[in-house]
Structures are given as structure tokens and as C-alpha cells.
Chains A and B, each alone.
Chain A
């Protein structure tokens, strides 16, 4: 038997208006972690969907163990030993652990009735083998995202999958959980399972992958062993140009305090949080998941109520009870969950961008559409949104462009304070760089920026000051110059050790 498990040969796929994949060929070897790197829109997901049987290629063939296969559907893919773990986990919160294992594949007795006894036994066995101690009757809604992801992987293993596709598996989990995941991946590798690993986080790719294939604009650029790649080459090949600098941070003149938050508390979420933000400043909020960073920002922005505390904007004490209060005070937040809080997917770019500032186009009792279009166009150009036209539905845009649409919407209210919660999550290197550049531009314009991020390098690269949160409290404040990953993590984990 050769050691090639999966062969992709000359696969092409076009959608109306775009050649998503063009003559793509590569091989995935047995027992190897094969990373696919590329920007959003490079064709990674299309390629994975073809391997998983969701799309049919226009031409080309797929071979498993050297035999050509015609993959019709994800179920068919599963029968062929291919499992996919999706980036956005689609799970049914009301379902129990054991149900989730066998959904779509219920063992039945000879009368066609679901065999619950067998389900229970097999679930217990699977959990025991993996050393996991969930109860089979726990509902998924009571588990964390990383637990659910573990279960997904377990499920893939239980089908005896020989090829497991993981699409951004670490986008929603903490570093500790990433380590567990990587341990799991190494185990699978040892058992001869091939992993196709898709991630924007190149440091993780370099940690876990054996081989790296670069995809750009639907074309394979190159496949190399990891040892023969370095980070810069990968980025250069992904974006087709060399990024001069990972973080385009600039020295900006820092003005007076624009926002001050004093003794901000919300029972069960965060206590006694005080911080300030100055004009032209980018401040960061670091911390582990569950440290309360997002909760503080949501309350500050008026999405959630808070118990006590004072918010001072431009020297004036203000009450923020709703998002409208925030917007009226020129404060805006870009949420970590783009799909949930950011975009109206079924509406077009124009309506999304002007949503928060429609009032300015209303006078004489009429919505002045031409003026709206002109202004939206201006903002979209300035954010560099790439789309055929303003009538393009936002659901049809790539993640990076959706994020730029949200930015355009936020900029249109002319904010003085910009809260960005994980602004670069799930978007590719090129788009990330553009977002950083925009952040610098905003700072130069004298806006104050708050960046919440779980990616320490990005905080260190972009911020002037970093607040570290743990268990709902601010436990440290670092100035630029004293930033280091170790120092931040020491603060972030200090409370956990006790």
C-alpha cells in the first residue's frame, strides 16, 4: 500500500461569476497533518466541501487509496471514511451527548426501533476510551464549545474516519484547550488517520502540521514539508505579496481622556472595573476566556444592563441604558460574533452600512436614497469593501468583507470611541492587516479604540496600553514597552493559580 491516502487531481469548480478552484491537485499522506493555508476566498472551503461531498466538482477526480471515488453527499463521504469538523459547530443544544453521537446513524433493533441500550453502551465505551467523563445524558447546551468540539472529533473517530477535515478548529477555544486538541490530533496521527487542517493561525499551523499547501485565488501555489517553510514565506505566498510588517502600528499623539469608566460592576459578570481611554489611543483587553472582557464591553455599549458604576465620556457623566445612548454619545462596538450581532445577512450592503445612521438621510419626511448611496459608497471605498455593487447581499460576502461592511457602518456614525471585540477573528492575514491599518488610521484621526482580543501578538503589536482581566476583575495594566506574552499571561492566570 502506498502511503498516499487522498489524492485530489485537477479539480476545478466554477460558480457564476467566479472560478473558485482551478485545476487543483495535491496529495494527503496517511497519518499526516496536512495544513491548507489561504486567504478567505482562496477556495479552501469550496475545496473542503467538494471533498466532503457537499459540492460536485466541474472536472477532475478524487482518489482514496488510489481508487477514484465519486463523493455524492456528506453521508457518502462518511461511508468513505471522511469526516468534517466545521468551523461553526452546528449542534442542537437540547440534544444529549449520546444522541449527538448517533444522530443520523441511529442503531436500530430488528423492528426498526431505535436501540437506546446499544446507544448508551457504545457512548459509555467511547467516552471511557477517551478518558472523558461526561454523562451520556448531559445536554449539549450545558457543555462548553471546546467540549462539543471534542465530541465532534470523537464522533468522527467513532465512524472509523480515515480522513478528518478540521476547519478552523481553534477559533473558539482557549490555549489550554488547543493543547488538548493538539494532543488528540497527534494520537490520531499515530493511528494512521490523516488530518486536513485549515487555520488562519499560522503559529498553530507550524506547531501541528507536517505538510503545508498554499492556496490562492483557487490555485495551488505550492506544497512543502513544514520544515521547508517559514512563516514569512507562507504569508507571502498566501497574499501574493510580501507584508512589510505584521502590525502597522504608528506613533500617534495621545490627547486627553475621552472615556473613563469607574467602579463598573455587574453581579456575577464583573466587579469594580475601572479604566480610561484617551484620544488617539488603542487600549487592549487581555484575559482568558470567561474573564469578563466581553461582558464589560457589552454593558458599556448598552447591550446588557449593569448594576453600579460611572461612565464619563468627554468629561461628562453619561447614562448608557441602550445602544442608542451609546451611539448618541458617539460610541460604537463591533462584536466578536459577526454573524450574530454584526450583519443582517439577507439585506444588501447599502442597507447594512447605513443602518445605524439612517436619520441623517431623513429630512422633509423622506429617506433621501441618492444621498444614502453616495455616502455608503464613500465609506465602503474608504474601508476597501470588495463587492460587485452595493446591492450585493451581505451573506454573499467573505468574512473579511463582512467585517469591513460592519466597520463602514460603525464609521458612519462618526464615532469617537470604538470598541472592537475580537476584530480579526476568523479573517485572513491580508484582511487582518487591512483592519489593523484602519485601526491606526482611526487613532490618527483622534478616536479612542478599545481592542478585546485573545490573540496576544495582536494586542502587543497594536496597543498603547493593555488591561488584563481575570475572573471579572482588572488584574493588571501594562504600558507599551513592558508588553510581553509571558507578563500578560502571568496576570491573566494569577487568580487561577490560587
Chain B
């Protein structure tokens, strides 16, 4: 009996941290596969590359934990981004253009949140609609043209502070915010409760609609920040930019252990998920894997991580506290 308990706890510990184990193993394999992998420049590149989708993923993590999601984040990013770039080109004010990006993204998310809380539209449908609308609006505003010559704005996304690239700094800041919110606020606890059992959360006195709306507003802020970084990284206002980023973000979220059935997940896991995808992409390029095959591998990783998650959960289920 004692032995059973021990095995159980080792298994639990392993399954709790398996995502980080995978990350470390992947790191070591990549290192062995190509010595250039470990150079500071390359690692910086990986972090830089994943920064935008990971910041989006923090918003997704909160939403998915609460049993929702955002399919529109790539499109809203593009809309917020082109408005940001255009504001900067016209006014030269960095602060003002950042604010524009964030406000636009928040407004789009408030609209989605309104559809979801007021009209009970499923999040999938509401944000699918927003995805289409926002992309259309971005193209409409720019007449389908990229905005170039955006001046010294690129300094932000491509610049460094104290030797650390700004996108990575933003990544760390948004990570800290997400982790803090999820762990240390009533809002965070409410997010877990709603995802775990919405009706019980409501019956426990949680204002479910308010929490859902807050989650979308927060997501909007992250999308706005991601927009700032994305547009300066690509050095232009791209109405067609960031296509499919919502799925990159969801991929990192899911691989990071956030459960699509809701109620389970955390920010650190999402970062680990993002780095798994980032390292994998990086090493596949380095060793010359065909780009089409890369996609197949990425898809397989999503499938495997979810299958593992479900398997681990069903294994735990057998271990009910029967004696209690």
C-alpha cells in the first residue's frame, strides 16, 4: 500500500513537470544535432521569433482556462498594428501609437466579449466572426497596401535594452503579469472556477459574465502589445500580417498543458509550450528539414501532447481517494 502511494506520487510529479522535461530533452537533442543551436545569438533569435505568438498565447491561456478561446487574435493584431503604424507615421508619438494599438485591440475584444456574455454566442463563433471582421477592417483601412517607411519606430521591436532584445523583455513582463493574475488574484481564481464548472462558479457568487469580459479585455491588451512588437519586427504596417498567429498561440497553450475542457493550465506551461515549438522549428531549419515536413511535425506534436494529457488524466482518475 505504501509502495503504491510512492509510485503514484512519482508518476504525478513526473506528469506535472513532463512538459519541462520534454523542453530540456528537446534542448539537449537540438544541441547535439547542431552545435550552432547553443550560440547566444541563435537562442536570442528563437526567443525573439516566438515573442509575438507567446504574448498572444498568454491571452489565450487565460481564455482557454476559463473555457473560451480567441480565434481573432492574429487579425485583431493586424488591425491594431496598421492603426498603430499609421498613428506613428502621422504623429511621431510612440506612446500615442502604443495606446492606439492597445485600445483598438481591447475594443475588438470587448465586442467579442459582449457577443459571448450578452448573447451567449459560443466563443468559437464570436471570435471567428471577429477574426473575419478585423482582417477586413485592416485591409479596408490600408486599402490592402502595406505601410512602409515607418521611420524609427522599428527601434522598439528590433532594439535592445541592457543587451536584451525588447521583445524578450516584453515577453517576460507579460509572463509575469499573466502568472501573477492567475495565481494571486480573485480574477485568476474565478477564471479557473468558471472553466472548471461555470454553473458552480455562478452559484458560488462569481459574476461569470464580468470575469469573462475581463478575460477578453486582458486578452485585448496582450494582443495590442503583440501588435506593437510584430509591426516593428516586420518594419511596416502589414494588414495581411500575423495570419494564423492565433493558432500558433493556441498551439503553445495546449502543448503547455492548458486543458481545452477548461479549469486547468498556467502561464509558465505556455512559455514552455512556446519554446518547445520554437526550438523545434529552429532545429528543423538548421538540420534542413523540408518546410512542409516541419508543418507535419508541428501538427503531430499538438496531437501527441493532447493525447498524453488525456492519458495522464485518465491514469490519475483510477486513483480515487476511495478510503475517504
Complexed CA–CA distance, A333 and B5 (Å): 37
The answer for the CA separation of A97 and B205 in the assembled complex, in Å, is: 38
Residues in B whose Cβ lies below 8 Å from that of A301: 203
Cβ–Cβ contact B319 & A355, under 8 A: no
Min CB distance, B174 to chain A, in Å?
19
Asked if B83 is an interface residue, CB under 8 A from chain A, the answer is: no
| Minimal Cβ-Cβ distance residue in B for A19 | B1
Which among B186, B196, B262, B317 is the interface contact of A358 at CB below 8 angstroms? B186
Most-contacted residue by chain B among A301, A346, A386 (CB, 10 A): A346
Instruction: Please state if A341 and B205 are interface contacts (CB–CB under 8 Å).
Output: no
B197 touches A343 (CB 8 A): yes
Interface range on chain A (Cβ under 8 Å from partner): 35 or more
The 8 Å CB contact of B193, one of A327, A347, A369, is A347
Taking a contact as CB atoms under 8 Å apart, the answer to whether A17 and B263 are in contact is no
B7 within 8 A of A: yes
- Beta-carbon contacts under 8 Å, A134-166 to B: none
A470–B221 CA distance with the chains assembled, in angstroms: 53
Q: Mark B21-59, 1 if CB is under 8 A from A, else 0.
A: 000000000000000000000000000000000000000
Given contacts A16-B319, A340-B200, contact A367 B184 (CB under 8 A): yes
Given known A14-B4, A401-B324, contact A344–B192 (CB-CB < 8 A): yes
Cross-interface CB contact of A323 among B185, B189, B203, cutoff 8 Å:
B203
CA distance A56 to B301 in the complex (A): 32
Any B CB within 8 A of the CB of A81: no
Contact partners of A387 in chain B: CB under 8 A? 321, 324
CB pair A326–B205 under 8 Å, yes or no, is yes
Cβ of B323 under 8 Å from chain A: yes
| 0/1 interface trace, chain A 318-359, chain B, CB 8 Å (1 if under) | 000011101100000101000011111111000100111011
Residues of A within 8 A of B201 (CB): 344, 355
Instruction: Tell me, in angstroms, the Cα distance from A395 to B196 when the chains sit together.
Output: 11
> Which residues of chain B come closer than 8 Å to A345, judged between CB atoms?
196-197
Question: Does A219 reach chain B (CB closer than 8 Å)?
Answer: no
Is B120 an interface residue, CB under 8 A from the partner? no
- The listed residue (A355, A395, A401) touching B206 by CB distance below 8 A is A355
Residues of A within 8 A of B318 (CB): 15-16
Is B320 an interface residue, CB under 8 A from the partner? yes
Nearest chain B CB to A45 CB, angstrom units = 9
- On chain A, the residues within 8 Å of B192 by CB distance are 344, 347, 351
Chain B nearest Cβ from A357, distance in angstroms? 9
B5 pairs with A17, CB closer than 8 A? yes
Q: Are B263 and A356 in contact (CB under 8 A)?
A: no
B183 touches A367 (CB 8 A): yes
B90 at the interface (CB under 8 A from A): no
- Within B122-138, the residues touching A (CB, 8 Å) are none
CB atoms of A346 and B263 under 8 A apart:
yes
Q: Quick check: A367 and B196 within 8 Å, CB to CB?
A: no
Q: Are A322 and B324 in contact (CB under 8 A)?
A: no
A465 to chain B minimum Cβ distance, whole angstroms, is 26
Given A16-B7, A324-B205, A359-B186, check contact A346 B264 (CB 8 Å).
Answer: yes
With a cutoff of 8 Å between Cβ atoms, the chain A residues found around residue B7 in the complex are: 16
Bound Cα distance A46, B259 (Å): 28
Q: In the complex, what residues of A have CB within 8 A of residue B262's CB?
A: 346
B189: A residues at CB distance < 8 A: 351, 354-355, 358, 367
Q: Is A211 an interface residue (CB 8 A)?
A: no
Chain A residue numbers with a CB within 8 Å of B322 are: 15, 18, 20, 41, 43, 46, 218, 398
- Tell me if A317 is interfacial: C-beta within 8 Å of chain B: no
Q: Does B299 contact A (CB under 8 A)?
A: no
A387 to B319, CA, bound (A): 13
A335 to B204, CA, bound (A): 11
Complex interface: chain B residues within 8 A of A386 (CB): 323-324
Residue from the list B8, B199, B261, B264 in contact with A17, Cβ < 8 A: B8
Residues of B within 8 A of A327 (CB): 205
Interfacial chain A residues near B204, Cβ < 8 Å: 323, 355-356, 409
Contact A346 B196 (CB under 8 A): yes
With A15-B320, A367-B185 as known contacts, state yes or no: A342 contacts B5, CB within 8 Å: no
| Alpha-carbon distance between A362 and B183 when the two chains are bound, in angstroms | 12
Contacts of A335 in B (CB 8 A): 203
A355 to B189, CA, bound (A): 8
Query: A16 touching B5 by the CB < 8 A rule?
Result: yes
CB distance from A475 to the nearest CB of B (A): 28
| Given A344-B201, A367-B185, CB of A14 within 8 Å of CB of B1 | yes
Q: Give, as a whole number of angstroms, the nearest-CB distance from B51 to chain A.
A: 28
- Rounded to whole Å, the gap between the CB of B200 and the closest CB of chain A is 5
Please report the C-alpha to C-alpha distance between residue A17 and residue B323 in the assembled complex, in whole angstroms: 9
Known: A326-B205, A346-B263, A347-B193. A18 touches B321 (CB 8 A): yes
- What is the bound-complex CA distance between A367 and B323, given in angstroms? 33
Task: Pick 15 A–B contacts, CB within 8 A, sort by A.
Answer: A15-B320, A18-B321, A218-B322, A323-B205, A327-B205, A340-B200, A344-B197, A346-B196, A347-B263, A362-B186, A367-B189, A387-B321, A396-B320, A398-B322, A413-B205
Interface residues of B (CB under 8 A from A): 1, 4-5, 7-8, 183-186, 189, 192-193, 196-197, 199-207, 259, 261-264, 316-324
Task: List 20 additional contacts besides A41-B322, A41-B323, A398-B322; criterion CB under 8 Å.
Answer: A17-B4, A17-B321, A18-B4, A18-B323, A323-B204, A323-B205, A340-B200, A341-B199, A342-B200, A344-B196, A344-B197, A345-B197, A355-B193, A386-B324, A387-B321, A387-B324, A395-B317, A396-B319, A396-B321, A401-B324
What are the 9 tightest A-B residue pairs by CB atom distance, in nearest-first order? Answer: A16-B8, A344-B196, A346-B263, A386-B324, A16-B4, A327-B205, A341-B203, A17-B5, A367-B184
